[in-house]
Amino acid sequence: MKRLAWIALAVAGALAALSGQEKEKATIDIIKPPGGHKLRIAIPEFRGSGAAQSFMGAFNETLRGDVKNSGVLEVVPDTMYPKTIPQQPSDFRQPPPVVETPRSRRDELVAPPNGGGLWMTDWSGPPVTAGYLAFGYTAVVNNVLVLYGYLYDLSRGTPANAQVIGKQYLASSVDDAGARQVAHQFAADIVTLFGGKSLFGSHIYYVHQAGFRGPKEIWAMDPDGKNQRPITHYSSLTIEPSVSPDGSKIAFTSYTKGRPAIFVFSVNPVRNLGFYNQDASMNAQPSFTPDGKQIVYSSTAGSSGQLCRIFIANLDGSGFRPLTSSRFIDTEPKVNPKGGTIVFSSGRSGPEQIYMMNMDGADIERLSEGSGEASNPSWNPDGQHIAFAWTRGYAAGQFNVFTMDVASRSYVQLTHDEGKNENPSWAPDGVHLAFMSNRTGREQIYTMLADGSQVQQLTHDGLNFSPAWGQ
């Protein structure tokens, strides 16, 4: 037995050495929870009393999905669950005092007694081996859909001591949407306890095109792909959305007035806030500063047209000044969420690469390694990592999503051999990425964890591009 273990270790070590060029630091730092390894939680299917039962498919899908997607907990598959599911604290039973393991006459082991699901040890012991149990049920009370949700810490021995969450959640409607809403809220409470950040309430803004060469509009959707809805109706080319740090505004580029120009909108309500565009053939790629009071963007203003420079301006476009002065194409400026630096794409050394500079435009340095083409930089909320698109190892145009630790310049490739993967955008939780991929033949928007796992397709209709994930 021991020898096998040593061989396995040696093989694993060899494999690790071979995978060699990429340094693993970037990924592990991002998604490893403070404890070291992910805690296991059991989430059995909740049932609904009476009329509530018809919404429980949506509820369970959302609750499980949100907790799993948080990346801070491992959800135990329900094939391992006991037969009987507790729905309220009073369902639990105490096991009888421990007795000697009974043996048959032939000295065979007999299965130890269990509670069929109503003992805490049914969940904390094998095969479930969970540290936590989420349970409860829903009902319609006075025309309100109510969730009674509980979270037990199974290490605490008795139900009386185990409750960590015991709460009523009230939905704003008696339907699938209401069921999803309370599931989102319950999951958010659970995930927050483990250092995770709920994505509930965040939004993904993106570009939607109904058919090839048709108009492009800005749309919004929930992080699970639900509630897809248009924001703009220009019937033109409207592209390149970005979100303000507090989620109250978006900025984007549109051809609606002829040449590409920048627009700044509030999202609740949807309203054009007005932005002064310099007289230029192109004003594009706007994004917000961390305090949400300024816009950085790319413009051909103030030149014979040969220059595409980065500018900074007030939220309404006034007070603009250039930050770069190269005679090449400087685009896609993105300000560090912690302030101080700006990353951008530039063709100043040939094929596009990713650069960083400080807020005055000084201290320009190249972040990307220099091969292929690197573009679409996006800051992690921690201000220390970026995600970007890179053709390294592939032909021109065949982008994959990478993450990079800016201080060390170490990088990790997240997508492989699956079409073009571009425009990564970090979620507010710093653990998820949205990105665009044409792996199915048409451009669609996907999410994944920062280690490249748990890829989910969010859009299916038409063509969808350029996700921007914000509050």
Partner 1 sequence: MFLRKRTITTVGLAVLLAMFAAGCKKKVPAPPPPPPPPKVEAPAPKPAAPTVAQFSAEPSAIQRGQSSTLRWEVTGEVTNVSIDQTIGVVQSTGSRRVLPNDSTTYTLTATGPGGTTTASATITVTVPPPPPPPPPPPPPAKTIVERLSSDVQDAYFDYDKSDIRGDAQAALTQDASALKSILADFPNATISVEGHCDERGSAEYNLGLGDRRASAAKDFLVQLGVPADRLKTISYGKERPVCTEQDESCWQKNRRVHFSPPQQ
Nearer to partner 1, 55 or 379 (CB): 379
**Pairing relationship of beta strands 132-141 and 39-42 according to DSSP bridges:** parallel
Does the footprint of partner 1 cover residue 319 (CB under 8 A)?
A: no
Nearer to partner 1, 138 or 378 (CB): 378
Q: Which range of residues in 21-29, 123-131, 172-180, 299-307 is near partner 1 by CB under 8 A?
A: 299-307
Query: According to CB under 8 A, which one of 81, 252, 265, 465 is a site residue for partner 1?
Result: 465
What DSSP letter does each residue of 55-120 carry, written as one string?
GHHHHHHHHHHHHHHTSSEEEPPGGGS-S----SGGG--PPPPP-PPPB-TT--B-PPP--TTSST
Within 13 Å, how many C-alpha atoms sit on residue 176's CB side? 6
Does the footprint of partner 1 cover residue 239 (CB under 8 A)?
A: yes
Does the footprint of partner 1 cover residue 345 (CB under 8 A)?
A: yes
As measured in angstroms, the least distance from the Cβ of 369 to partner 1 is 17
Reduce the DSSP state of residue 164 to 3 states and report it.
Answer: strand
Q: Which range of residues in 31-39, 120-128, 142-150, 254-262 is near partner 1 by CB under 8 A?
A: 254-262
Does the footprint of partner 1 cover residue 332 (CB under 8 A)?
A: yes
As measured in angstroms, the least distance from the Cβ of 258 to partner 1 is 5
Reduce the DSSP state of residue 174 to 3 states and report it.
Answer: coil
Does the footprint of partner 1 cover residue 444 (CB under 8 A)?
A: no
Q: How far apart are CA 310 and CA 200, in angstroms?
A: 34
CB 385 within 8 A of CB 403: yes
As measured in angstroms, the least distance from the Cβ of 433 to partner 1 is 17
Residue with tokens 């921007």: 468
Q: Residue 329: beta bridge partners?
A: 308
Q: How far apart are CA 21 and CA 286, in angstroms?
A: 35
Does the footprint of partner 1 cover residue 106 (CB under 8 A)?
A: no
Query: According to CB under 8 A, which one of 66, 217, 405, 422 is a site residue for partner 1?
Result: 422
Q: Which range of residues in 75-83, 123-131, 236-244, 270-278 is near partner 1 by CB under 8 A?
A: 236-244
Residue with tokens 């094929």: 351
Query: According to CB under 8 A, which one of 376, 400, 437, 444 is a site residue for partner 1?
Result: 376
Query: According to CB under 8 A, which one of 220, 389, 412, 463 is a site residue for partner 1?
Result: 389
As measured in angstroms, the least distance from the Cβ of 237 to partner 1 is 6
Nearer to partner 1, 152 or 465 (CB): 465
Does the footprint of partner 1 cover residue 281 (CB under 8 A)?
A: yes
Closest residue by Cα to residue 317 from 346, 339, 289, 296: 296
Q: Which range of residues in 17-25, 64-72, 188-196, 209-217 is near partner 1 by CB under 8 A?
A: 209-217
**Omega before 377 cis (within 30°)?**
no
Q: Distance between terminal CA atoms of the chain? A: 52
Does the footprint of partner 1 cover residue 237 (CB under 8 A)?
A: yes
**Omega before 223 cis (within 30°)?**
no
Residue with tokens 């969010």: 458
Angstrom distances, CA of residue 21 to CA of 24, 29, 286: 9, 18, 35
Q: What residues line the site for partner 1 (CB under 8 A)?
A: 212-213, 216, 237, 239-240, 258-260, 281-282, 284-285, 298, 300, 304-306, 308, 329-332, 345, 347, 350-352, 373, 375-376, 389, 396-397, 399, 422, 465-466
